[in-house]
Amino acid sequence: MTAPRAARRTIPLLILLAALPIACGEPGPKPKAGDPPAQAPNATADAGAAPQEPAFLSAEACGRCHGAIYDEWKQSFHGQAMADPLFLELSEDVVNKEECIRCHAPVPLREAQFETPVARASRREDAISCLSCHQDGANIAGPFGGLEGACRPVGDPRQRDVVKICFPCHNQHDTGNEYLAGPYAPEAPLPRQRPAESCITCHMPEVERPLVEGGVVRKGRSHTWRGGHSFAMLEKASALDVEVRPAEGGGFEIEVFVTNRGAGHSIPTDARHRSFDTYIKLWDADGRVVLDPLKRADQERSFLAKFRKFYRGSGKNDTQIPPLARVSTLGEGPGRFTTDLPKGRGEAWLVYRLTPRDALVEDSLKASEGPDDVQDTTVARVVHRVSFTFGK
């Protein structure tokens, strides 16, 4: 009986295979240029003696001194961008496609003038490496300046400029533009609805520690980049609430709202295969389940709305939720449910899917296990559940 199982697995994969190259490889809006090209290494140093390349070339070598940062980076999706199971699964013939490698194992951003980078020729296993974000010719650029170390550190304010350091890869699907147009941007209209935040302040939380073992304690940034894979980030990003009102012909109308309360961009953002979906579960007055999102036969009826950036050519309008917006639907699904039961109770669910094939199953209800609880790429996760009652 292996055939049906294999078939079930193949169909969604084919859809993904067909859709993802379009989804991820589109040429995106370019970040604002206007900056002079990265400076030549050691322009002021003695020309004859100037080193031509960085003192350390692999992330592991950086990690020998910057151990804490290395460990975080190694586990992050930047460190894993060439080993991510989803990327590999799709990459049978893609892994050799330069157009995919260019953001997953890129040359240094400064070498690419902070535009969408090109693929690196060597050390592709280092994925988005330390050098991708820090190399400046033979030097290593960082936010501080005036430090001394074997890596030849130099200060560069552009290290904290997210348009330069994040947008070259994260604006192809408008995440950067969504942020700049939103309430957290430095230029948001007054009076501000939210204090300014950036890709860095939200995704690289501040940590006080020495940069190298035994060094001076400094205010630095964690290199974890938690995002959609992290349950804690999904909880922070979203809130769910329910409005119940009597329906016109008797019974009740239940409307379920999602708020983007904590993300600096739309939710979901970036990769087109992700979505936030709402569902409803109902019990009658005798406590019997009458509608259950985990039951295959009920799943379509219990589905309320889908929030997603759809694949190109799907003919659908995007339904992502902008920062601070509270919506029940943006056109994909009714956003509400009418029951003719006179009395009962229910639960609204907010479900997150990394890919359309992620199944809503018993495991989806698993409670959060903290910030490092990373979602499986085949199982949907219930992020929030809200209870309500109707009738007297």
100 is a contact residue toward ligand HEC (CB under 6 A): yes
- Part in contact with ligand HEC (CB under 6 A); list of ranges 207-215, 244-252, 298-306, 329-337: 207-215
38 is a contact residue toward ligand HEC (CB under 6 A): no
Count the site residues for ligand HEC by CB under 6 A. 100
Q: Are the C-beta atoms of residues 38 and 137 closer than 8 Å to each other?
A: yes
Encoded one letter per residue, x for contact with ligand HEC by CB under 6 A and - for no contact, window 48-87 reads ------x-x--x-xxxxxx--xx--x---xx--x--x-xx
Site for ligand HEC (CB under 6 A): which residue of 199, 254, 291, 380? 199
Site for ligand HEC (CB under 6 A): which residue of 19, 38, 151, 360? 151
SS3 219: strand
For residue 123, give the DSSP letter. Answer: -
Q: Which residues are bridge partners to 283 per DSSP? A: 289, 345
Report the residue number, 97 or 312, with the smaller CB distance to ligand HEC: 97
**In this structure, what token pair is assigned to residue 77?**
């999706």
Shortest CA distance to 102 belongs to which of 117, 88, 124? 117
Q: Which residues are bridge partners to 208 per DSSP? A: 219
- Part in contact with ligand HEC (CB under 6 A); list of ranges 101-109, 277-285, 296-304, 337-345: 101-109
Please list every residue from 237 through 276 that binds ligand HEC, using CB under 6 A: 237, 262-265, 267-271, 274
Pairing of strands 252-260, 381-390: unpaired
Q: Are the C-beta atoms of residues 328 and 345 closer than 8 Å to each other?
A: no
- Part in contact with ligand HEC (CB under 6 A); list of ranges 154-162, 243-251, 290-298, 327-335: 154-162
Encoded one letter per residue, x for contact with ligand HEC by CB under 6 A and - for no contact, window 370-389 reads --------------------
**Residue 337 to residue 304: CA distance in whole angstroms:** 7
307 is a contact residue toward ligand HEC (CB under 6 A): no
162 is a contact residue toward ligand HEC (CB under 6 A): yes
**Residue 134 to residue 143: CA distance in whole angstroms:** 10
Residue length of the chain? 392
